[in-house]
Amino acid sequence: MSSTERKDLRNVAIVAHVDHGKTTLVDAMLRQTKAVGGHGDLQDRVMDSGDLEREKGITILAKNTTVFYSGPAAEERAGAETVTMNIIDTPGHADFGGEVERGLSMVDGVVLLVDASEGPLPQTRFVLRKALNASLPVILVVNKTDRPDARIEGVVSDAMDLLLGLASDVAEEDPDLDLDAVLDVPVVYASGKAGRASKEQPDDGGLPNNEDLEPLFETILDHVPAPTFDEDEVLQAHVTNLDASPFLGRLALMRIFNGTLKKNQQVAWARKDGSISTVKITELLATKGLERVSTDSAGAGEIVAVAGISDIMIGETLTDLNNPKPLQDIVIDDPAISMTVGINTSPMAGRVKGAKVTARQVKDRLEAELVGNVSLRVLPTERPDMWEVQGRGELALAILVEQMRREGFELTVGKPRVVTQQIDGVLHEPMENMTIDAPEEYMGAITQLMAGRKGTMSTMANNGTGWVRMEFMVPARGLIGFRTKFLTETRGAGIASSYAAGYEPWKGQISYRVSGSLIADRAGVATPFAMMNLQDKGTFFVETTSEVYAGQVVGENSRNEDMEVNITKEKKLTNMRAASADSFEGLTPPDKLTLEESLEFAGEDECVEVTPEAIRIRKVILNSAERMKAARQKKSATAV
């Protein structure tokens, strides 16, 4: 067989930690190649198309776009007037690692983006290791060089140390890995916001000396290999993502590794279960900028979308009809966190007009999520109206629930728990490598907080700026409910992020909360009079005049115990006229928890009621007497 290159084509993924500027840089590349109109505001983040992505400022779904580069380096380095660059914008959060793994299966090289001040962080390590495992060449881009606190030289040194350490680890697993080639990493200095890049290091806090991104495009052409294929090989196109069109139905996004795919062509569809059937390509779409346009054919190395196959799944292959040769399935890491999702069983269920409240609707929606989310698992439970949903992390599961809430679902969501494994007869739990950046004065509080969650410090560094960086190895369950407490301890100044670090034997009991819950003892409307008298007991989650029910958690108790309160009590009126009217100006405003904060706060015997209009924390058992009985039975069983 003869191997041939597509010199006019490059497939590259941009990977980085959360908020290091991937999407902003892709926006600048799109504008400078005229893929989207004008140069306009480079902060539009056109690649973050979802509402949640724009609100949270993170990439949740991997997306591909195409730019057509026709600068001076195109003819010189690729021998073509225009070079097609397929760019995959991947999430930076480890919870969405399935998206990263799918994106890397489509490309021939990666651009590793690192913040010029923060340097390599946990998700940087996570995505870089995935790239090295896939034997992909790496281009290091130091972004945000114009930050006032930039430390460019130190960040480059840290990135190279990280690369060397990871390459050594990967080399132990793969003896054929060429360490010299891996460590020969070009460095580009950039400001995605300004749309500038250079190969020469600018001063700390300064912009790159070049006016555009030409050095970045040149480096991609030089160091990302052109796709190669065998001219004599049969058609092999691998499905790596799914999308939907209101006109065409399900779209299968795929990279063609060998052969040619044509519109109206009859091909073999190789499924995951090993079966092979014949299908017709009713529509073939290529990506141009942010749009998909119809095309008659596509060759090896190209990334296209195919319509006409309603049940096709990620990891499956379109291949030759007469000589089918399926490709290997995409390998995805096992989930580490699970939680139960079921119908809303609270006394307020079904009050939102048009809400989706039935078990069939919830089940269909969870099954639909499995189609495009390969890192998610949905398992049955003892109850027919509740399912166990497993994912990479707390954030990924919270995003799914939030999406369902916005689609009109009413749900009961259980407290997140870890997914354990039995290894050699010993119970093991998932571990996380946690990196924390915080001011020096909070170091003691952070160390104490992590120790209570079975975290052990592995390294600590002080760069002399008043901030300290600490790394901990901590059980994944120790991070459930951690973020809120961490932000409280550091007065909102700390930065914490983590990535999966394998499994270790069970670390023992962890105390998640030192405070109890304030529980409504009856249904009614929360009154200002009752809340004024109770506010010294703790912090409330509900506003005055809001409706509550018995068993609903209405606040956080300042003591380490649950307390039932009458939040609906009204002031008794008499015929005597008071000297002065009651004043409720001293009533502390309630602490309104988001969905993520509610999931973190919920105790072992609590769950979260999620509706399109409200998020409430409640006891799993609403009746007080039954709750006490269940607690006694659990205590007796534990004692035995």
Binding residues for GTP: 19-24, 143-146
The label of the residue with tokens 């960086």 reads 469
Q: Beta-carbon neighbour count of residue 339 at 10 Å?
A: 24
Dig out the tokens for 136 from the structure: 């992909």
Looking at residue 146, its amino acid is: D
CA atoms within 13 A on the CB side of 26: 31
Dihedral angle over CA of 346, 351, 354, 356, nearest 10: 0
In 3D, which of 404, 25, 86 has the Cα closest to residue 253? 86
Binding residues: 19-24, 143-146
Residue 205 phi, psi dihedral angles, 5° rounding:
85, 5
Question: What's the DSSP call for residue 203?
Answer: P
How many angstroms separate the CA atoms of 573 and 60, rounded? Answer: 55
Asked if residue 145 lies in contact with residue 191, where contact means CB atoms within 8 angstroms, the answer is yes
What angle, 0 to 180 degrees and rounded to 10, lies between the N-to-C axes of helices 394-406 and 359-372? 130
DSSP string, 274-293: S-EEEEE--EEEEEEBTEEE
Report how far apart, in Å, the C-alpha atoms of 214 and of each of 33, 200, 286 are: 10, 13, 25
**By CB neighbour count within 10 A (0-12 exposed, 13-18 middle, 19+ buried), where does 233 fall?**
middle
Asked if residue 86 lies in contact with residue 14, where contact means CB atoms within 8 angstroms, the answer is no
How many angstroms separate the CA atoms of 165 and 359, rounded? Answer: 49
Dig out the tokens for 349 from the structure: 């269920």
